[in-house]
Each structure stands twice: as structure tokens, then as C-alpha cells.
Structure 1
Amino acid sequence: MKRFFCCLKGEGSRQGEQAPPGQREPPHSPENVNNENDDVDEAHPFGSNEFLNYARRNNIEPPDDRLPRNSTQKNRQALSPLLLLKCGITFPWTDIVAGTQDFSRENYLGQGNFGNVYRCDFPEFDKVGAAKVQKLGNASAHKEFVAEITVLEDANHPNVIQLLGKCFGKDHSVIVYEFMPKGSLDHHIYANTKPGPGLPQEYAVLDWETRMSIAVGVAEALNYLHGTLRVIHRDVKVANVLLDENFVPKLTDFGLASQMVTGRYGGERQIEISPIKGTPGCVAPETEESGLVSSKSDVYSYGIFLLTLFTGRKACDFRRPSDTWKIADWMKPVWSRQENIPLVVDVALGPRYSRDGLVRLFETARRCINVQARDRPPMSQVLPLVRYAAAQPLGKVSKMKRSRSR
């Protein structure tokens, strides 16, 4: 029987969408990462994560929003040394209000997985961040907030978004992560996807080398999450990949993240989630049909990610015939005949790509989107396959990279 599929985290879950203003034991137990069935415990809102519970208790009353922006330090709450030692700086609410210019439209970046995201300037730290503000009175948003900050608190990888700090209060909670000046990857792939006002209104036509570098970087991030943090991302897609000034990819939006669970004999076992959330076309069949997730669910989503990155097509497009809405179905005629591959390459690439590299890449994607989860390779095997595809020579076609305004 098919389960109800909730697409609350569809294409809107991205930084720039237009909207109204060697393994180790994981440092946190599974309940600290997303568990949709739990109710919020006001006494221990962050489960067994005593650091976050402490922060909630000891950063109790947020500063009065009516305080002038140049308010002195005495008007701010004292910051606990413990908070400074853990996940980044604890910012007073007045700093968030001032840094976002009272959450102005000019600073608006888009919607994250539990609230709006704004560019936030911190001149005293010489930092620019992206502040994601939790939706008030929303239990689901709170759980996603907990999942994201729990993962980012422990993450340390060049292809995972970096946590700069946070702001805790009874009336609001904010995560601040590093600002990505190039916005989200989908802005550069889909012509009808516009960045928020707080991002440059230009996009780059990504060349072959840049796309391959992004493909490798995202594979590196997932391999790190699965192998080191033992975390399942659960919402891998182009809109959840942000780009820095040099187009280095950073995986973001960990609001649906779940801890991997080990079975009796040491192997990973699937866990059941409810309600089912994700992006149509990117969600693995076992998740969509039965609410089951594992690291192999991320592998499926990564395979879809490769297809969207190199074809320029969306994971799910209802303008296509009904039997090809999902890109996995749309690609079926290509798998049988390699000569069809050039017909589906993103036209923005022109003739500038490695045919051998693309064949190997699409074969890797085909293995990743196997209907049977057990037959998909783990990311530890996918990563070298993508690296090998990236190493294939481009040929003698001249290199060029263009930038244009929308």
C-alpha cells in the first residue's frame, strides 16, 4: 500500500526561491536528528543534546526588539563560555535584526527547510552570514531546526555548509551559516529559477569542468555524512547545493536529516519515517511507497542529482508526458543505446564535454537509481566512479565560460 507523500519540501526548499518576505560513533543519539513522530518536550526540546538544552535554558529572554541598533553590550545577554566553545557564536537577537536590516526584502535570500533565509552582516566579526529564522509555533519546523543544528554542529567538511552561529530564545531560534555568494545550483541550471533579492541577479553558464567539480564535491559530502557522521541527508537535490565565489559546492538544508541505524549484525537497516517528506522525482521508491529511508535513499537522490546537473532537466516536470514526469523514467530510452546520450545533454554545454566521461557518469547514475535499494552502490563506491568520469579528457575543443544577466 502506498503511503501519503508530503511534498512540503519541494522545489521551494532552496536558498534563493522567491517568496514573501573510518567510522566513529555519532556524538548525538538518534533522537537528536529528525524523528517526525516525537512531540516537542518543552523541558528538553533538544532531546539528549544537553548543550542545546542548556543554551535554551540560559539564553532565556531575548533582548527587547525595540532596543536601538547601537545598543551597548550591557543591553545584551551574557554569553556562556560553553556556548562559545560549541557550534559557533551565539548572536543576540538585536544582531540578527540589525544584520538583516529588520529582515528587509533587500536581504531576503529565500526559504529554507523551516523558515525564511536572509543575508545577515556582522561587521564586528567581519563576517557575512545567511540567517535562517525558525517559524514560530510550528512543531515540525522546530524538529527540522533541531535536526539541522545537530548535524551542522558536528560537521567539518569543505563541501558541507559551515555553521557560523545561532540565536536561541523562547520566541525565536535562528541558525546562521556561511553566506554563499553564487546562490543555489538550480539558479545556474534552470532559466526560470530566479535568485532572491539578496543575491546577484546574474548566473553563470556552467561548463563541463565546473559541473564535474560540483558532482565530485557533492559525492564527497555524502560520503562524509554516511561514513563519518552516520547521517542520512534525505533531501539531496540541486536546490540544496550552494556555491561559493569559486563555485565550490556546499550541501545544505539538513532539516530532514536522520541518524543511520545499525542492525543486530552490524549492517545498516532501514528506518521508517512519517509523514513522508521530500522532493518529487528525487525521493527513492522505497521512501515514497513505504516510508523507508537509509543511506541508499541518498544514493538514489544523488543519481537523480547527476541527471539533472548534466541534462538541465528538472527531477519532476509535469509538462512532460505522464509516463515521463520523473527524470528517471524520461531517461529510460537513453540507457539502452549510448548513441542517445548526446541528445539529452544540457544544451548550455554545447559540444564541450567529454563523451567518455558522460557515458561513465550516466552509467553511475543508472546504478544509483536502481529500484532495489540493496543493489545500489554505497557512496564510498560511487565517489571513485564519479572521480574517474571527471578525469576523462575533454578533447581539443576550446574552453570558455560565460556569464549573463537574466
Structure 2
Amino acid sequence: MPVDRMMPTEESRDLIELTRSLVDKELRPKVDAAERSATFPREVFQTLGRAGLLGLPYPEEVGGAGQPYEVYLQVLEEIASAWASVGVGVSVHALSCFGLFTRGTEEQKRRWLPDMLGGEQLGAYCLSEAHAGSDPAAMRAKAVLEGDEYVLSGAKAWTTHGGEADFYKVMARTSEDGGRGISCFLVPADAEGLSASAPEDKMGLTGSTTATMNFDDVRVPVERRLGEEGQGLPIALAGLDAGRLGIAAVATGVAQGALDAAVSYARERETFGRPIIEHQGLAFLLADMEAAVQSARATYLAAARRRDAGLAFGQQASVAKLVATDNAVKVTADAVQVLGGAGYTKDFPVERYMRETKVMQIFEGTNQIQRMVIARGLR
């Protein structure tokens, strides 16, 4: 059943209703087949883009919708409650646009942002490498300046939309000065020498293509560098705070979807002459699931409201990501338990929800990294 949301404006309430309508018409009918066949749903992103949902948190003057982050995240949650792969994709796309919006020149923003935010182009984010995940400062991919071009070489692992995106926000080393030697580039998908390895064969989120991107002497004009040389890691880390809120909202959406499926089943399935939801043992399990989902939502909204108010929110984003993804793993596992043997089959979506949430404890910074960030703020 629809979440009872307290939205800040009438416009935002209308936006939630629009999202729910698109989710019901365009996402729910396609999700099962696409996830089973590992098909990337590019047309779904185009639909969301044309509806204005890919640029929600960006200003209208650059092609966005000018919505507060608390509104954007609740739209993201609604999308993820039906299709986690698409929810993750929308979050990654927003993250891929962040460096251009915050560090791009006015000319760069005028040239590229409108198509990126309007749904005509889909983005990807290249930070991690096979040996440099939680420690991005250890990256080895290089960008060497030759005249008015940089030559990029190396490989970027775990790229969401790898091989499917139209542009890649890439972090590469421009000097050997540790974390201060990394720069940020906006690389078009058709750049010569850029290729994607075979997609990863993943446990979940199979409708979201994840691949290693290979940079074989890819030439990128200087005009496609975002910010100055050496500013790449701060650009990346600043974007990750917002990206963690995106993943918190996605995880909450998947948990909500699992809770809805469990409640629906418990109302219909009967044992000992009455619906199983009336048995106290199971009713208490559902109550704990509801409390976990509401707690996750409240946590990410609290962080989002700090962001909207211009306050520091990094620690709160880590708390939200930690709480929402840990809760989602438990809620989806409990949903399988509510359905019993039926929950372990692919006749119901709860087994997929359970598989999808595990990776949310890993990407955008593992939950162990989130605990480090939170603890650092307590010193």
C-alpha cells in the first residue's frame, strides 16, 4: 500500500503521485522479466528523464527540477520500491552529474548539463579500481597531459551502467602526490580507446549492468577536466555524501516493497482457520519490519533536511546509509520468512529483494567505512 508521506509542498505531493503512476505503468510490468534476463532497461530511464525525474535535485536554470533533496530521495524510494536496479541507476546518474554542477565552468554546464539532466544522456561514475575500493587514493589509472589533451590509461572496476552510459565521470591520477594527485574528467562514451569488459555476473540487481571500464590511451580534451588538477578526490568524496543518501533511500524503498509483499501475503494466507497476520508471533515480526522501515526513512530524511538547509551532513549521511541498508537486509530476509517456503521460490519477489539489498551494505562505501566516518565525528 502507498506510504503515507508528509511532503513539504503541494508540488511535491503531485510529484510523488506522478512517480507512483509511472512506477505502476512503466516499471512494475517490466521488472520481473528484465531482472530474470539481466536486461538493461534503457527505455525506462528515458521515460523517467522525459518526466523530469533524472534531474530533480538540480536547479531549473541548468535543466533540473529545483527540488529539495528530501523530495528527490522520496521519489527515489518510490522508484526503488518497485525496481531496485532502476533506483540505483537514478542515484548513480545524479552522482555522475554532481562534479559538473559543482566544479564545472559556466560554459561546461551550459554545454552538457541540460541533456544530462533531461534524460537524453545517462551517466556512470568511475572511481573504484580492482585494488582501490575503500581506499580511492590508491588508484593507479593515469591521465597524462599532452598538449591540449589528457591521455587516460588504466581500468575502473564496478562501474554501474558500464558499457551502457553516454558519459563517464572519471577519477584518474595526474601526479604521484597521493590523494592530492587525482583529477576529475567527463569522458564521452564514444571516446576512442574506451571499452567495457563483460558485465559482472551478480547475485542481484541483474537489471543494472556493472562492468569494468578500460581506458586504452583515451584522449580527453582539457576542456573536459572538471575543476583544477588535483581536485578530483575532493570532488569524488563530496559527491559520495549525497550518493550515500541516494542508496539509503533505495534501500528503504526495497525494504518497503518487501514489507508490502509480506503484509499482503499474511492477510491472505490462512492457518488454523484464520489469516496468519492474526497470529501474534508473525504479527510482531511484521511490526518490527515496519519499525525498521520507518526508522530508515526518518534517518535519511533528517540528513537530507540538513543538506537542504546548507548544514554539514556527512556524518548524518553515513548514519543513514548504515541504518537503511542494514535494516533493509534484515527486513527482506524477514519477508522471506513470512512467506515461508513460498518466499524461497521465484514465484514471489521477496527472494529477489533479499538478494538485492546485500550489495547496498557494500557500495557507496562499505558499512564498515560508514562506521569509521561516524566514529571519527565523535572524537
Q: Report the TM-score range of the alignment, normalised by the length of the smaller protein.
A: under 0.3
Higher relative contact order (Cα pairs below 8 Å, separated by 6+ residues): 1
More helix by share: 2
TM-score, reference length from structure 2: 0.25
